[in-house]
Structure 1
Amino acid sequence: MFKRILVPLDGSVRAEQALPLATHIARTYNSIIVLTRIVDIFETVGASSIQAAALANEIREIQEKEAQEYLQRIRGARELEQPGTVIEIHTGDVATTLLEMIARGSIDLVVMSSHGYTGYKQWVLGSVAQKMVHDSPAPILIQRESYAFPCGTGSDNIRLCVALDGSELAETIIRPTLYLAAACADVGKREVHLLRVVKAIDADRVEIFRKIHKLDIQQFLYNEATSYLKEISERLNEGAAAQLGVHVTWSVSMGSDIAQTIIREVEGEIPVQHMPFPYALLALATHGRSGIARWAAGNVAERIFNNTKLPLLVVHPPKKQ
């Protein structure tokens, strides 16, 4: 599935933490790795310095040469010995240029760190990475500095959690998650868990609905979510997941705050320092249901991105015409 893997780098050690993960996936699927560094002239010279603006071409040439030397050094590193590694250097706004590269270069996966430089050049989920996960048509795999996604750990089991909301758009994250699990653990030790959170309804509203419609709406929604996940997991375990040697499980949770409930489920009830989380990664789509219940790049997804400590696999599926 992952034929071309894009790894954006900004020259920092933190950003380079994405390299071992990208390299392992590339070796598993014989992928091409595209190493890129974006030269942002505006970030360097600003908009107010006429003298600096006049030297923009000279500054760009210097920075492009530095970027070329840097990427050549990264490509030559022993741990990145990958025949299909190529280098691309571009000039422009970082997030916009990366999105253009994805659209133009048939990128199947982007692997990047959630942090790069600090201060003005930071690559945090509030800037470049956040725009990427909101707008990229290719899956974005975000590595964490404090809790790195384990890849190729040999004897360890690996559990990935996929958060679903019942929509076909949200389901687009399942396939890349299965392939990621298959790349990062041995057969028999790969699990993808499907999670759906049912929003808890106020008790008074449940009672009113029961009196009017003779139906327990809360139980109905819970049963609907249960049937939905059961059907999907059975289909996957008999088809795509079985072919990749991945076992699919599922569960339904209930909570008044969907984002908070998802984070609690994937990180555990009581965070314990230096202890592993129940899951190695959280995967979800930035679009789900339409209208008021949607999981768009708004409240639920936004809060998950900014609050979970786990590595993330995110896809922004195109809406059907």
Structure 2
Amino acid sequence: MYRTILVPLDGSERAEAIIPHVENLAQHEHATVVLTQVIEPVSRSFVLDPAAPPKYNFDTSAADAAEMYLARIKKKFELKGIKAKTLLMWGPTVESIIHAANEAKADIIALASQGRTGLAQVFYGSVASGVLNRVRRPLLLVRPNTKPSTASNRHILVPIDGSRRSEAILPHVVGVAKLYDAEVTLLRVVVTLNQVVAYDNIEAEFEAKEVHGHLLDRLGESQEVERFSKAREHILMQRNKLREKGLNVTALLMHGRPVEGIAHTAEKIKADLIAMTSQGHSGLAQVFYGSVASGIMNRLERPLLLVRPD
């Protein structure tokens, strides 16, 4: 599934936090790892026409150090029996990563969410949506302080919101779960304004008395019961479909705010990996955009597998 893994690095230990996860994935997939480092321009200039492509000026002395660094990391992979290549790129960080992914025909891009320089901005601020919108490849992200022991991928948390867009992650979940013989937990958070998240009984049909009073007061009894019932039916259907594919799957239903629900459940089940799409409808559409993005990354020391829905 992921036969070629692109790994952008910047020479910092923070960026290297992704390496244990890449090693683990590459060994399971018998994949080729492509290590890349971007030589960023020290300045750029425009000649007469501001609309013309800018001309970049580079510190070429940085290239030798980068090549030596990549060669050293490549050797470490090879000593573990993993095929590795290096690719030196020149230009702005985000554009260069995208170009490297295309050149390497990467099946997945794996990197730490913060590095020393340019990489620190790839998934933060205004650049984040640009990368996710332009790269039609899965992204494996880790925080720099994520423990290497979390690379086992034996328990995968999969938040979905009932939309087809959020379900684009499921084929990837099937592949990874079979690769690692992993347990899968599907999570549906029914969005409410209540800041306290709580689990609901997924095995029982919803009745008015089972839905919290403050929800009934706001939306009306029949509407709220119907909303919870549809959420329950949908996640049970997805659970059963995955079970038919031979996976060990549990389904959980919650109400509250999506980010809090995801974070709480990840900690509760000790998830090794959180797998989801970068866009869904309602709450999940905002999880990796705006101010919420840094919030969830700061709260969870677990790898994230992100897939952009078509």
Cα distance in structure 1, aligned partners of 2:241 and 2:4: 28
The match for 1:68 is 67
How far the C-alpha of 1:9 sits from its partner, in A, is 0.6
Cα distance in structure 2, aligned partners of 1:311 and 1:83: 21
Aligned pairs for 1:1-321 within 5 A: 1-41=1-41, 44-45=42-43, 56=57, 59-60=59-60, 62-77=61-76, 81-82=80-81, 84-117=83-116, 122=120, 125-126=123-124, 132-133=131-132, 135-148=134-147, 150=149, 158-183=154-179, 185=180, 187=181, 190-200=182-192, 206-207=216-217, 210=220, 216-239=222-245, 242=246, 246-255=247-256, 257-268=257-268, 278-289=270-281, 295-296=285-286, 297-298=288-289, 302=293, 303-318=295-310
CA contact (8 A) 2:44 2:56 kept: no
Number of paired residues?
Answer: 282
How far the C-alpha of 1:306 sits from its partner, in A, is 4.7
The match for 1:272 is none
The alignment partner of 1:168 has SS state of coil
How far the C-alpha of 1:104 sits from its partner, in A, is 4.4
The alignment partner of 1:122 has SS state of helix
Structure 1 residues 78 and 227: CA distance shift in structure 2, 3 A? closer
Structure 1 residues 16 and 300: CA distance shift in structure 2, 3 A? closer
- For 1:164, give the aligned amino acid: I
RMSD after superposition: 3.3
- For 1:85, give the aligned amino acid: A
How far the C-alpha of 1:7 sits from its partner, in A, is 0.6
Cα distance in structure 1, aligned partners of 2:14 and 2:92: 20
Structure 1 residues 14 and 209: CA distance shift in structure 2, 3 A? closer
- Identical columns (%): 24
CA contact (8 A) 2:111 2:141 kept: yes
1:82-108 CA distances to partner (integer Å, 9 max, x unpaired)? 453111111111112112332443321
1:49-86 CA distances to partner (integer Å, 9 max, x unpaired)? xxxxx9945x23x2222211111111112665445311
How far the C-alpha of 1:149 sits from its partner, in A, is 5.6
The alignment partner of 1:77 has SS state of helix
Output the TM-score relative to the length of structure 1. Answer: 0.75
1:171-222 CA distances to partner (integer Å, 9 max, x unpaired)? 1112223333444x4x4xx211110100236867744754xxxx52222111
Structure 1 residues 207 and 19: CA distance shift in structure 2, 3 A? closer
Unmatched tracts of structure 2, length 5 or more: 46-54, 195-212
Cα distance in structure 1, aligned partners of 2:103 and 2:63: 21
Query: Greater shift after overlay, 32-41 or 13-22?
Result: 13-22
Cα distance in structure 1, aligned partners of 2:308 and 2:74: 29
How far the C-alpha of 1:113 sits from its partner, in A, is 1.5
Structure 1 residues 77 and 293: CA distance shift in structure 2, 3 A? closer
Aligned structure 1 segments of 4 or more residues deviating by more than 6 angstroms: none
The alignment partner of 2:279 has SS state of coil
Structure 1 residues 205 and 111: CA distance shift in structure 2, 3 A? closer
CA contact (8 A) 2:20 2:148 kept: no
Cα distance in structure 2, aligned partners of 1:208 and 1:7: 48
How far the C-alpha of 1:169 sits from its partner, in A, is 1.3
Structure 1 residues 254 and 204: CA distance shift in structure 2, 3 A? closer
Cα distance in structure 1, aligned partners of 2:173 and 2:128: 19
The match for 1:51 is none
- For 1:71, give the aligned amino acid: L
CA contact (8 A) 1:177 1:313 kept: no
Unmatched tracts of structure 1, length 5 or more: 48-53, 269-276
The match for 1:271 is none
Cα distance in structure 2, aligned partners of 1:204 and 1:151: 38
Cα distance in structure 1, aligned partners of 2:79 and 2:121: 23
Cα distance in structure 1, aligned partners of 2:56 and 2:155: 52
The alignment partner of 2:36 has SS state of strand
- For 1:193, give the aligned amino acid: T
Output the TM-score relative to the length of structure 2. Answer: 0.78
